[in-house]
Chain A
Amino acid sequence: EVQLVESGGGLVQPGGSLRLSCAASGFTFSSYWMSWVRQAPGKGLEWVANIKQDGSEKYFVDSVKGRFTISKDNAKNSLYLQMNSLRAEDTAVYYCVRLGELDYFEYWGQGTLVTVSS
């Protein structure tokens, strides 16, 4: 059974940093693209970033370029999102998502809440 468990969310001040982690199990982690998707309170879904199986390709939504970094450790079956220079508008539940072989969002974690506020 595919399991994705996010951690690392919490309250952070504007301008601060936070690192989210996603522990993956139930599949061969090194064989799949992975993603982060977020959802602001009461709002819709927003794709944040993708990373290729070996980490050689990464893509970001414009609003986080230069501030967020996505990485994966295939030896630890873990996905990460390093978030710097956080803004109030980054407040959201962040979901770790495994892409299917045809590049769609196939499996979702339960999410972790990031709140950016003073």
Chain B
Amino acid sequence: DIQMTQSPSSLSASVGDRVTITCRASQDISNYLAWFQQKAGKAPKSLIYAASSLQSGVPSKFSGSGSGTDFTLTISSLQPEDFATYYCQQYNSYPWTFGQGTKVEIK
């Protein structure tokens, strides 16, 4: 199975900060990488697919990059509605697997 490791597990940031979350795959997954946002008590929401493609309707402050084993999600200017937990997920091969999540909290 492909292991997905996110870092950090949590972070504290201020409104307006630029935030970067890293996701590392245990083997090459090409660009079969997605990012999701989940707010407390809510269903996850798709943000990025194919490592860097923005899901329709998602604001451009979110961006993704990377290929192979190393990927990043960047939020260019953190807003109050962005405080949430973020997950990466590989869909290169079964079983599809998620990272453990990164909780973004208010500083």
Which A residues form the contact surface with B (CB < 8 A)? 37, 44-47, 50, 59, 61-62, 95, 100, 102-111
Contact = CB atoms under 8 A, between A and B. Distances in A.
B44 A107 contact: no
Contact of B98 (A46, A50, A100, A104): A46
Interface of B: 32, 34, 36, 38, 42-46, 49-50, 55, 87, 89, 91, 94-101
Q: What secondary structure prevails in chain B residues at the interface with A?
A: loop
B46 A45 contact: no
Contacts of A109: 43
A44 B98 contact: yes
Contacts of A47: 89, 95-98
Contacts of A111: 43
A61 B44 CA distance: 20
B46 A103 contact: no
B46 A106 contact: yes
A108 B43 contact: yes
Contact of B44 (A45, A59, A100, A102): A45
Nearest to A104: B49
Given A45-B98, A46-B98, A104 B91 contact: yes
B46 A107 contact: yes
Given A44-B100, A47-B89, 12 more contacts: A44-B98, A44-B99, A45-B44, A47-B98, A50-B94, A95-B44, A102-B49, A104-B34, A104-B91, A105-B34, A107-B46, A110-B42
A44 B95 contact: no
Contact of B50 (A37, A95, A102): A102
A46 B96 CA distance: 8
Contacts of A103: 32, 91
